[in-house]
Structure formats: structure tokens, C-alpha cells
Amino acid sequence: MTLLAETPYTPCYVRNEFLFDEQKGHKEFTKAVVFAFRAEPARAPMFQVMLESGAQWARVPIHMICSKPCDPLPLQQSSWWDSYGYEFTVVALPFLKGHAVTALGRDGQIRKGNYLFTVDWMKTGWSEVPDQHKNHHFIALDSGPWISYPNNRLVWHDPSWITPAPDREWKTPSRFYSVEG
């Protein structure tokens, strides 16, 4: 069982309302470093952080993390999916490192940001179904909040060779491919 895995060490801010059970601390922030990802089925993506005070917090949900003080983004805009299960892998894909990206939210808004790392799921029912499998790509939005979006809600930018124009008629593959099957 995985449950918790190291991420790239990423400076961030934690919304203080999380540190006070949402009873106070709104519009206040504490410097921190994200150092691990935690997954629990049917729960928002969560992080393990070290605060600048030396206090270490677990289970900080994605909408309580930001790269700079900013207005909050609702949880439903912060991540398209809850965690699929306990088993996953975290990888900072070198090919995507430093790439700018635009993300399409549930609210139809397009938000710009930069790639942080990816979580990919394993050993869960949905992660094995071709048209249901989803990566969680973690993005630091230019406006501050962090988001976790799947491939089909992101367009990557690299002016040296990418000309963004995805075909909107593409369909998600629904077949299993096997050499022996």
C-alpha cells in the first residue's frame, strides 16, 4: 500500500484557515514546503507540508495550498477528481518540467499555470479501465492556487515547437490492447 509518497520539494503557502479548522485565519497565509502527496479513496488530493515554524502538517487538501497569497479557488475547481485509491506513483516528468499550461475548469474558465509533478494511479478499478484512467497533473496557477487536472483538460505550451490546436473531436480510447489477447 502506498498512501504517502515523496514529491519534489516545492515552496508554497498554506491558507491559515486550514490551520484553524476554517474558524479563523481567512485571507492569511503561512510559508511552507510541500514534500509528500497523500491519497485516500474518495478524498481530495492532499499533501504533507512543513511550515516555516517547524510544524509538520498532514492531509492538507489541494485547495488550501498556493504558490503565493491569492484568492481561494473552490475545491471543485482545484481538482477534477478525488484520489482513485491508495496506490499511486509520483513523478516529476522531465519532459513537462517548466512547461506552461492552460487548464480548462469545470466552470468553463481557462487558467494559466506551470507544471509541478504528476500522480498516476494503479491497482484500482478505474485506473485499469482505458477510458476512465486519469493522471493527476499538478499545476501552480499564475494566479497562485494549485490545481490537479487530467490530460484532457490541459493544453501544454512550448513556443519552440508546440502550436496549440488540439482536435476537439478526438475520442478517449476505450479498448484494451494486448499482444497476446
Does residue 121 surpass a pLDDT of 90?
A: no
pTM of the model: 0.88
- d(CA 20, CA 57) in angstroms, rounded, equals 12
Does residue 163 surpass a pLDDT of 70?
A: no
Give the whole-number percent of the chain exceeding pLDDT 90. 69
Could you report the per-residue pLDDT of 46-104, keeping only the tens digit for each?
999 999 999 999 999 999 999 999 999 999 999 998 998 899 999 999 999 988 999 99
Pull the grid cell for residue 135: 493522471
Residues in the chain: 181
Per-residue pLDDT averaged across 141-169, rounded?
A: 83
Q: For the chain, first and last CA: distance in Å?
A: 29
